[in-house]
Amino acid sequence: MRSLSLLLLVALAALGESEEGGKHHSRTKREFLSRSKRRWVLSTIELEEEMKVDYPFKLSRMFNDKTPGKQYEFAISGEGTDEGLFSIDKLTGDVYVHAPVDREKKASYHITFDVWDKSTNTKIDRELAFDVDVKDINDNAPRFIAITKEASVKENTPSGEYLAASLEAVDDDQEGTVNSTVVITVDKQVPAEPKIGIVHISGRLHRLIFDGCFDYDKVKTYSILIKASDKGNPPLSSTATIKLNVIDANSHQPIFKQRQYQAEAVEMTINETILRVAVEDKDTPNTDGWRAKYFFISGNEDGLYKITTDPKTNEGVIGIVKEKNFEIHTLVNLRIGVENVEPISVCKDGKLIKDSKKVPPQDSVNITVKMIDTNDAPVFEKYTDDVYHMEESEPGQVLYNPNVHDIDSSKFRFKLIEDPANWVTVDEKTGKITTIKEMDRESPFVDENNIYRIVIAAIDDGSPPATSTCTIKVHLGDINDNSPTLINKTIIMCVNKVDKILVRAQDADAKPYSGPFIFFLGDDKIASKLWKIDPAYGEEVALVSLETLPYGNYSVPLVIQDQQNEAAAETLQVEVCECNKGDVCRPRKPLSIGLGGAAIGLIFAGLLLFL
């Protein structure tokens, strides 16, 4: 029922405008009012769109004051006249419309009227030009221009949040009027809960909201009939349907399939999987609301066990990650719990509940793990021990008695593992170590700390047998069983350089059974004439020649005493010669002729001794 009226006022205005070059301004409307009255007279024109009348339909009748007494005719031109939409009766001035017009296609027509003098073929008056605006009726229903036809909502979406659906609607009727004012509502939704509504965001944009909560178990799909109405009288409307799919969230706790589990594991053994536990979950498989997360509640305080989720089966996999020794077969009670990756929430009485106290509790079960004790090795009270023993003691002495216990077997035997000098024997039953030979501190098997190392093993009767060993460190006490000796029994004396030589002695015994030593010249008259010892006390002493000695070899008898006055007789061979660089004797002629006095003396003395 839209209409558009063309008023007289408008006609006058248009006339005025045409005088000023066809411009339509309200200013000219007023200006022209008085003058125009005398010329064109026009009743109200109402052109309403889509009029349901018989066509051609008379819209109005034109008059012109100047026509009386003249042979005249009216003419019409402008928009819609060539196509025959508008016409004018040349004589009567009746204006006709020949077909319904549609404002939404063309909202106004610019039309010009003229009146001609037929005899002179001239215009009787100036033209009358104006816009015929088409009056709106509410002939357009709102239409949706953008609409999310299918949307989804996560089950655990909190009430009041926008749904992922938006829509826009327009109405083609005249803007800014009730005929084009659109109101969008939810006409019907199936099922009815939770209540879905529409909010206007801005401009044409509207979004869906809801009040309450979704329950995937009950409803998986909603059909929402949206209605867009205008405010015309009566209103026109159109509808659209949005499909809303509910996406499952975590609303069910996983539940263990068994109430009690048993497992077995071997002590001291890392094992990826000693047990698998499975759960039932009513949520959609392979969603975070279904995926299980397992955890220990008790029994794993020392971190021996690990629990992970098998991503394929959703099972909990329990493994052992640390080695621990159990002395006997032990039952370990593990308590495990399970939850989902996604936090749980439930839709209850139209409310989304997330509070851990109000949602169903997490399930938990006990697992009894039998830790199987393997054959533990016998345990020596001490794995290394020290004993003290005098060297050269009589064989047959007990050196050591081990103290051994075994948690899981009572029978074990002993074996000698290391005894490099073959000095001891071990009792197979008791582990008692007895010497079978005299032990010598000076033996190469004794280290620099006077320690001789013996290793014995205790072997139990398990299968396979378990072994552990004990090292006995025998600290050998020294006795003075060694005499001092010369380190060098022959020495060169370069008489062209020195008149004394240094003499060193050694004693294999340890303090106080060794040096420093006291040196004496042996009981030899000739030697005591040729030599003296000065100093005579020390690890090293000096042998001084008392006179210039002819070249040759001299035997010097020596007596060396250690700290305990244990003496040893040694003979030092001294080669007296002339040396080159580096104390090496210079080669010389054989002593055939011209024996030195001393040499002769020596020979002579030898002869005398012989005699």
Ligand X SMILES: *[C@@H]1O[C@H](CO)[C@@H](O)[C@H](O)[C@H]1NC(C)=O
Specify the residue, 122 or 233, whose C-beta has the smaller distance to ligand X: 233
Q: Does 552 bind ligand X (CB under 6 A)?
A: yes
Q: Does 422 bind ligand X (CB under 6 A)?
A: no
Binding ligand X (rule: CB under 6 A), the pick from 1, 33, 186, 521 is 1
Residue 464 CB, shortest distance to ligand X, in Å, is 17
Measured distance CA(220)–CA(246) in Å, rounded: 5
Q: Does 33 bind ligand X (CB under 6 A)?
A: no
Measured distance CA(41)–CA(57) in Å, rounded: 20
Q: What's the Cα-to-Cα distance from 361 to each of 168, 254, 346, rounded to whole Å? A: 45, 10, 12
Query: The tokens of 586 are what?
Result: 């210079």
The angle that helices 26-36 and 8-19 make with each other, rounded to 10 degrees, is 100
Residue 159 CB, shortest distance to ligand X, in Å, is 39
For residue 600, report the phi and psi dihedrals to the nearest 5 degrees. -60, -40
Q: Does 333 bind ligand X (CB under 6 A)?
A: yes
Specify the residue, 465 or 552, whose C-beta has the smaller distance to ligand X: 552
Specify the residue, 69 or 582, whose C-beta has the smaller distance to ligand X: 582
Q: What's the Cα-to-Cα distance from 93 to each of 110, 215, 273, rounded to whole Å? A: 18, 74, 105
Binding ligand X (rule: CB under 6 A), the pick from 126, 207, 220, 335 is 335
Query: The tokens of 384 are what?
Result: 């290394």
Q: What's the Cα-to-Cα distance from 339 to each of 138, 282, 306, 316, rounded to whole Å? A: 60, 13, 16, 11
Find how far residue 531's CA is from the centre of its chain. Answer: 89
Specify the residue, 241 or 573, whose C-beta has the smaller distance to ligand X: 573
- C-alpha angle 26/27/29, rounded to 5°? 65
The span of 116-124, 132-140, 424-432, 559-567 binding ligand X (CB under 6 A) equals: 132-140
Binding ligand X (rule: CB under 6 A), the pick from 145, 205, 328, 487 is 487
Measured distance CA(86)–CA(108) in Å, rounded: 13
Residue 335 CB, shortest distance to ligand X, in Å, is 5
Strands 433-435 and 379-380 turn out to be unpaired
Task: State which residue has the least CB distance to ligand X.
Answer: 1
Q: Does 178 bind ligand X (CB under 6 A)?
A: yes
Q: Does 308 bind ligand X (CB under 6 A)?
A: no
Half-sphere exposure of 354 (CA within 13 A, CB side): 9
- Which of positions 192-221 make contact with ligand X (CB under 6 A)? none
Q: 3-class SS at 528?
A: helix
Q: Does 553 bind ligand X (CB under 6 A)?
A: yes
Q: Are 46 and 6 in contact (CB under 8 A)?
A: yes
The span of 158-166, 408-416, 483-491, 559-567 binding ligand X (CB under 6 A) equals: 483-491
Q: Does 230 bind ligand X (CB under 6 A)?
A: no
Q: Does 574 bind ligand X (CB under 6 A)?
A: no
Q: Does 232 bind ligand X (CB under 6 A)?
A: yes
- C-alpha angle 278/281/285, rounded to 5°? 100
Which residue do the tokens 């969603």 mark? Answer: 287
Binding ligand X (rule: CB under 6 A), the pick from 244, 274, 279, 304 is 274
Q: What's the Cα-to-Cα distance from 457 to each of 69, 202, 380, 445, rounded to whole Å? A: 153, 91, 9, 20
Residue 142 CB, shortest distance to ligand X, in Å, is 14
Strands 404-405 and 379-380 turn out to be antiparallel
Binding ligand X (rule: CB under 6 A), the pick from 44, 258, 269, 403 is 269
Q: How many helices (H) and strands (E) does the chain have?
A: 4, 47
Could you say which DSSP state residue 180 is in?
Answer: G
Residue 140 CB, shortest distance to ligand X, in Å, is 10
Binding ligand X (rule: CB under 6 A), the pick from 120, 223, 245, 298 is 298
Q: What is the DSSP string of 33-78?
A: HHHHTTSEEE--EE-BTT--SPSSEEEEEEEETT-TTS-EEEEEEE
Q: Does 175 bind ligand X (CB under 6 A)?
A: no
Q: Does 580 bind ligand X (CB under 6 A)?
A: no
Q: Does 267 bind ligand X (CB under 6 A)?
A: no
Specify the residue, 459 or 574, whose C-beta has the smaller distance to ligand X: 574
Burial (CB < 10 A; 0-12, 13-18, 19+), residue 9, is: middle
The span of 75-83, 96-104, 122-130, 131-139 binding ligand X (CB under 6 A) equals: 131-139
Query: The tokens of 596 are what?
Result: 């030195």
Query: The tokens of 295 are what?
Result: 């955890």
Q: Does 330 bind ligand X (CB under 6 A)?
A: no
- Which of positions 152-171 make contact with ligand X (CB under 6 A)? none
Specify the residue, 48 or 391, whose C-beta has the smaller distance to ligand X: 48
Q: Are 84 and 98 in contact (CB under 8 A)?
A: yes
Q: Does 332 bind ligand X (CB under 6 A)?
A: no
Binding ligand X (rule: CB under 6 A), the pick from 4, 51, 128, 265 is 265
Q: Torsion angle of alpha carbons 63, 69, 70, 75, nearest 10°?
A: 10
Specify the residue, 242 or 486, whose C-beta has the smaller distance to ligand X: 486
Specify the residue, 430 or 490, whose C-beta has the smaller distance to ligand X: 490
Q: Does 507 bind ligand X (CB under 6 A)?
A: no
Which residue type does 496 have?
N
The span of 105-113, 175-183, 239-247, 306-314 binding ligand X (CB under 6 A) equals: 175-183
Measured distance CA(520)–CA(506) in Å, rounded: 15
Specify the residue, 264 or 428, whose C-beta has the smaller distance to ligand X: 264
Bridge partners of residue 577, in order along the sequence: 494
The span of 130-138, 434-442, 460-468, 473-481 binding ligand X (CB under 6 A) equals: 130-138
Q: Does 271 bind ligand X (CB under 6 A)?
A: yes
Q: Does 138 bind ligand X (CB under 6 A)?
A: yes
Specify the residue, 142 or 232, whose C-beta has the smaller distance to ligand X: 232
In the complex, the residues that contact ligand X under the rule CB under 6 A are 1-2, 136-138, 177-179, 232, 264-265, 269, 271, 274, 298, 333, 335, 366, 487-488, 490-492, 504, 552-553, 573, 575, 591
